[in-house]
Chain A
Amino acid sequence: MMRIQGRWLKGLRLQLAGIATVVAAAIILSAALAQTPSTARTEEASSPPALNGASLDYFPRDHLFRILGKEVMSAKGEGMGRITDVLFDEKGQPRAAVIDFGGFLGVGTRKIAIIWSVLHFDLGEKKNVIALDIGRDQLKAAPEYKDSDKPIPVVAQPQPQPPAPNEAPVQPGH
Chain B
Amino acid sequence: MITRSLQLSGLRTRPNPTAMTRSQRGLDWLNFFVANFQTGFGPFISVYLTGVGWTQGAIGAALSAGTVAGMVSQVPGGALVDGLRSKRAAAAAAIIAIMASALLIALWPALLLISLAEILHAFASSVLGPAIAALSLALVDPSAFGERLGRNARFLAIGNAFAAGLMGTFGYYISDRAVFLLTAALALPALAALQMIRDADLVSPKTPAKGVLIAQEQPKGWSWRFLRDRRLLTYSACASLFQFGNAAMLPIAAGMVTKRAGSEAELVIAACIVAPQIVTAAISPWAGRAAEEYGRRRVLLLGFSMLPLRGMLFAGISDPYLIIVIQLLDGLSAAVIGVLTPLIVADITRGSGGYTTSLGVVGLAVGTGATLSTTAAGLVADYFGGAAAFLSLGAVGLGATLLVLILMPETKYRA
Is A110 in contact with B110, judged by CB distance below 8 angstroms?
no
Q: How large is the interface on B (under 10, 10 to 19, 20 to 34, 35 or more residues)?
A: 35 or more
Question: Could you say which residues of chain B place their CB within 8 Å of the CB of A174?
Answer: 383-385
Kindly provide the distance from the CB of A46 to the nearest chain B CB, expressed in whole angstroms.
24
Known: A30-B107, A106-B44, A109-B47. A69 touches B54 (CB 8 A): yes
* Residue B345 CB within 8 A of the other chain: no
Kindly provide the distance from the CB of A8 to the nearest chain B CB, expressed in whole angstroms.
5
Question: Could you say which residues of chain B place their CB within 8 Å of the CB of A82?
Answer: 47, 50-51
Is A108 in contact with B269, judged by CB distance below 8 angstroms?
yes
Is B50 in contact with A104, judged by CB distance below 8 angstroms?
no
* Residue B13 CB within 8 A of the other chain: no
Separation of A71 and B52 alpha carbons in the complex (Å): 11
- CB under 8 Å from chain A, chain B span 36-88: 39, 42-47, 50-56
Is B107 in contact with A108, judged by CB distance below 8 angstroms?
no
Q: Total interface residues on A, using CB and 8 Å?
A: 39
Give the contacting residue for B259; candidates A11, A25, A110; CB below 8 A.
Answer: A110
Is B273 in contact with A107, judged by CB distance below 8 angstroms?
yes
Known: A8-B195, A78-B263, A110-B258. A100 touches B42 (CB 8 A): no
Question: Interface-forming stretch among A12-20, A89-97, A156-164?
Answer: A12-20
Interface membership of chain B positions 348-388, coded 1 if the CB is closer than 8 angstroms to chain A and 0 otherwise: 00000000000000000000000000000000001111000
Separation of A38 and B51 alpha carbons in the complex (Å): 21
Give the contacting residue for A109; candidates B45, B192, B258, B384; CB below 8 A.
Answer: B258
* Residue B290 CB within 8 A of the other chain: no
Write the residues of chain A forming the contact surface with B, with a CB cutoff of 8 angstroms.
4, 8, 11-12, 15, 18-19, 22-23, 25-26, 30, 33-34, 66, 68-69, 71, 78, 82, 84-85, 100-110, 136-137, 140-141, 146, 174
Write the residues of chain B forming the contact surface with A, with a CB cutoff of 8 angstroms.
19, 22, 39, 42-47, 50-56, 92-93, 96-97, 99-100, 103-104, 107-108, 110, 112-113, 164, 167-168, 171, 187-188, 191-192, 195-196, 198, 250-251, 253-255, 257-263, 265-267, 269-270, 272-273, 382-385
